[in-house]
Amino acid sequence: MRGKKVVVLTGAGISAESGIKTFRDNDGLWENYRIEDVATPQAWQADPELVWKFYQARRRQMKEVGPNPAHEALARLESELDDFTLITQNVDDLHERGGSLSIIHMHGRLETLRCEKSGQIEVRMSDEDLEDDFLFCNCCAESSRVRPDIVWFGEMPMQMDEIYDAIGSCDVFIVVGSSGHVYPAAGLASAARLAGAQTILVNFEMPINGYDFDEVHLGKAGEILPKLVEKWLAE
């Protein structure tokens, strides 16, 4: 892969191996909540206290887990290649803590909170920022309530122009731990393939868009990916 433009997309599966729960479990629930109740703009309008407490619990949980060998393998791949882009659907900071330097968080970040009035983003991860009471911004003359800096269902993912530019010009597109259910992320493999890229999948099981991949590796990313990175860097 040396000398090639490589783009990687990661999904919930890579974080699940570190202990972060995914809503694509068999019961269809996300930490015992329906998606509609905690992860839509309508939910925030209808019951902001429930949504806030849900995300505060997720923000606290992030401090209890750490990156796994798959995160570290991708950081190594980035460090060895000249042209590398990492896109993640995940809202945790495990890629950063695993050593990755440049990450596009297309669905937002748990670390940051967004002012409802100005839209300005602040990193708020101190102990007092992780309690269940609502928080208020530091940007407005009269402080406004902040919301999770998360792309909820029905909202537009972040940095899509940058993502499509990277996909349209890459030589290799690698997907790690994505179910292929959530669009537009689920359509990126198809877009990369149409643009002429080699598409590679590393996933615990075959996703619904498995036909979009030229090469498939099934199993735990933390076990498979470090060996694959060694192989790719030797080529």
Q: Are strands 108-115 and 121-123 parallel, antiparallel or unpaired?
A: antiparallel
107 an active-site residue? yes
Asked if 3 and 82 count as a contact pair (C-beta separation under 8 A), the reply is yes
Structure tokens at 199: 């598409």
- Alpha carbon of 234 to those of 2, 77, 173, 174, 224: distances in Å? 9, 11, 18, 17, 16
Please identify which of the residues 71, 107, 181, 217 carries the catalytic annotation.
Answer: 107
* Cα–Cα dist 168/201, whole Å: 18
Local structure of 89: helix, strand or coil: coil
Structure tokens at 135: 């928080």
Q: Which strands make up the sheet holding 146-150, listed edge to edge?
A: 121-123, 108-115, 146-150
Asked if 9 and 88 count as a contact pair (C-beta separation under 8 A), the reply is yes
Catalytic residues: 107
